[in-house]
Amino acid sequence: MADAERTPGFDTLAIHAGAKPDPTTGARATPIYQTASYVFDDVDHAASLFGLQAFGNIYTRIGNPTCAVLEERVAALEGGTAGLAVASGHAAQVIVMQTLLQPGDEFIASRKLYGGSINQFNHAFKSFGWNVVWADPDDISSFERALSPKTKAIFVESIANPGGTVTDLEPIGAIARKAGVPFIVDNTLATPYLCKPIDFGADVVVHSLTKFLGGHGNSIGGIIIDAGTFNWSRDKKYPMLCEPRPEYAGIVLHETFGNFAFAIACRVLGLRDLGPALSPFNAFLISTGIETLPLRMQRHCDNALAVADFLSTHPAVAWVSYGGLAGDKYHGLAKKYVPKGCGAVMTVGLKGGYDAGVKLVSNVKLFSHLANIGDTKSLIIHPASTTHRQLSDEQKTKAGAGPDVVRLSIGIEDKADIIADLDQGLK
Amino acid sequence: MCYRYGMNHDAYPDTYIRGILNTVKTIAMVGFSPNTVRPSYFVFKYLTERGFNVIPINPGHAGKEFLGCKCYATLGDVPEPIDMVDIFRAPPFVTPIVEEALKLSPKPQVIWMQLTVRNDEAAALAEAAGLKVVMDRCPKIEYGRLSSEISWMGINSRTLSNKRAQNLGGGFQRMGLNQAGGKKND
């Protein structure tokens, strides 16, 4: 398929994007380039690489051929211009914000986020002088009200963790566009198989690769995808991109790298200087996982919907929060943004409150009690006693993780076995 | 949009771009900057390293040599045949450059306007004279994309292949435009 005339489908890209046969050996599987460094052809070649004048590999903290396969693959699946894989989803967020914000700047974030992101934004980022301003995705105008001259970005999750709620991306993206700031979407729970945020106005997409993209709970990783849509030079608000960089003898990255300048800036300024590089071995495992993403993700969704249906009529269950359920508050948005399914993650409110949550996680035999989502295995956690423990009761409830709440990540086992395990665990 | 001649300039097939980069040898670069951090210098250096004979055009630096390549003031001053004119100038300045290129003998085969440079009037002029035209693209990026070099930077090359990329020679990290076992313009 050397021609661009035929556009490959999603499932083909999941297998082939980024992974041509190895140029040196012809190896068809992506080799694990487990090396720290790469020899230069000569002194001039070294100078060209360090000056960003040539494409190529210098040192695995800045780039690695195995990681590059993963980067190109996810960029292709998301419909972006480029990607940068890093050590974790959290590292991806640090690098994105460090590229966009100066100390004293603000960014607006949806209140409905992964608890770890809420902590990162409230504490670690504030210590860098990057000030989060929270907005409510159920009240779109709250994003507009949160804007100030210091706002440098708007951040949301497409499907929000943990409640399986769906964010109305388009109007929030429109507010970002009008304000002249990039719209950043964490697409971890949906994956590009279910939703492509760039189609709905995202300028930057981030992922925890650890979850459904890798899919097997065996590797921590994160990625930043550049949509290539944002004009970094227009308002001169982003000096990492639109001003001569002293790190590179005065190169202006946006003018030099055009519609993939953001990904380059994250790599050659953010990753180079902050250092959270992804291991090539993890990149290999995650890329291999992505080859089956379309098959796994559909099965995750189908199983999750069956489980949500079952739990929604269970006598021990007060409520189920899952946008895939007909009648759920977010079902209309789910039909628009994630028509193939609403992912695998949901929260369940137990009539017995905190104690019932603790009891359920102790009783289950198939579900693993752990802090992760997006594994082939079904997973369960009681956020109030674990991931969201640091939040106040009010914050817990606002984040959809009150004391009665159990979070499930439905795996791809036989759905009858998953349902039977929950049924016995709730007795 | 409709065009009187030639290409759909909103979407070039890879075969078209690859064909051009496989054919041209001598490239005159109008708007060349000797400042080593400017995009034109990046492209000049990169294409030179990939085996192209790149001739810088800049009246302020005529007579000087850059990486062993002599700089000329105008296209008309270049004493050898030019296969492609690569234009690093804003759109309003492009038409006179194309008019000058069309007066050359022999005429160049290709007019290439850099990323962000698009001038449909100048393109039509060149295409009417039988030249190929590329607009709003960078030959460095296109070479990197079609050779797979750009994939090392995590860039979406928008290409899939079951053939391995070929080393250009002269180093480990210099790839050619053609794939092992592939036809030249695949």
Question: Average pLDDT, stretch B2-26?
Answer: 85
Question: B37 and chain A: CB distance < 8 Å anywhere?
Answer: yes
In a domain, A148, yes or no: yes
Mutating which of B10, B22, B152 best tests the A interface, going by the most A Cβ atoms within 10 A?
A: B152
Query: What's the half-sphere exposure (Cβ side, CA atoms, 13 Å) at B157?
Result: 32
Q: What is the mean pLDDT of chain A?
A: 95
Question: Average pLDDT, stretch A76-92?
Answer: 98
Nearest CA of chain A to the CA of B169: how many Å? 10
Residue A197 belongs to domain spanning: 10-289
Q: Among the three residues A289, A320, A337, which one is the final residue of a domain in this structure?
A: A289
Record the tokens describing residue A353, joined without a space. 């409150």
Question: B33 and chain A: CB distance < 8 Å anywhere?
Answer: no
Report the candidate in A15, A70, A19 with the shortest Cα–Cα distance to residue A291.
A15
A26-72 pLDDT per residue, tens: 999 999 999 999 999 899 999 999 999 999 999 999 999 999 999 99
Question: Residue A285 pLDDT more than 80?
Answer: yes
Question: Residue B118 pLDDT more than 90?
Answer: yes
State how many domains chain A has. Answer: 2
Per-residue pLDDT at A1: 42
Task: Tell me the residue type at A108.
Answer: I
Contacts of A272 (CB under 8 A, 6+ apart): A61, A62
Question: Residue B184 pLDDT more than 60?
Answer: no
* Residue B100: C-alpha distances to residues B95, B109, B122, B124 (Å): 9, 14, 11, 15
Could you give the dihedral angle defined by the CA atoms of residues A303, A305, A306 and A308, in that order, rounded to the nearest 10 degrees?
Answer: 120
Its sign, for the CA torsion A366, A371, A374, A380, is: positive
Which positions 73-92 of A are in contact with B (Cβ < 8 Å)? 75-76, 80-85
B170-182 pLDDT per residue, tens: 888 889 888 766 5
Give the domain ranges of chain B.
Answer: 14-138
Is A412 in the same domain as A274?
Answer: no
Q: Among the three residues A262, A289, A316, which one is the final residue of a domain in this structure?
A: A289
Give the whole-angstrom CA distance, residue A64 versus residue A38: 9
Question: Residue B55 pLDDT more than 80?
Answer: yes
Record the tokens describing residue B105, joined without a space. 């003998």
Is A269 in the same domain as A365?
Answer: no
With beta carbons less than 8 A apart as the criterion, state whether B136 and B118 touch: yes
Is A25 in the same domain as A174?
Answer: yes
Is A255 in the same domain as A322?
Answer: no
Contacts of A24 in chain B (CB under 8 A): 167
Is A172 in the same domain as A31?
Answer: yes
Q: At what angle do helices B94-102 and B120-128 cross, to 10 degrees?
A: 10
Contacts of B177 in chain A (CB under 8 A): none
Question: Residue A369 pLDDT more than 90?
Answer: yes
Q: What CATH superfamily is the domain B14-138? A: NAD(P)-binding Rossmann-like Domain (3.40.50.720)
In a domain, A1, yes or no: no
In a domain, A4, yes or no: no
Question: Average pLDDT, stretch B128-143?
Answer: 97
Mutating which of A1, A10, A20 best tests the B interface, going by the most B Cβ atoms within 10 A?
A: A20
Report the candidate in B35, B56, B46, B19 with the shortest Cα–Cα distance to residue B178.
B19
We report the CATH number of the domain holding residue A358 as 3.90.1150.10
Is A202 in the same domain as A129?
Answer: yes
What is the distance, to the nearest Å, from the Cα of residue A259 to the centroid of all Cα atoms in its chain? 21
Per-residue pLDDT at A401: 79
Question: A55 vs B149: CB contact, 8 Å cut-off?
Answer: yes
Predicted complex ipTM: 0.92
From the list A5, A76, A256, which residue is nearest B42 (CB)? A256
Q: Among the three residues A225, A260, A289, which one is the final residue of a domain in this structure?
A: A289
Contacts of A53 in chain B (CB under 8 A): 42, 45-46
Q: How many CB atoms lie within 10 A of CB B61?
A: 16
Mutating which of B118, B155, B158, B167 best tests the A interface, going by the most A Cβ atoms within 10 A?
A: B155
Per-residue pLDDT at A5: 66
Report the candidate in A347, A346, A339 with the shortest Cα–Cα distance to residue A298.
A339
Is A221 in the same domain as A327?
Answer: no
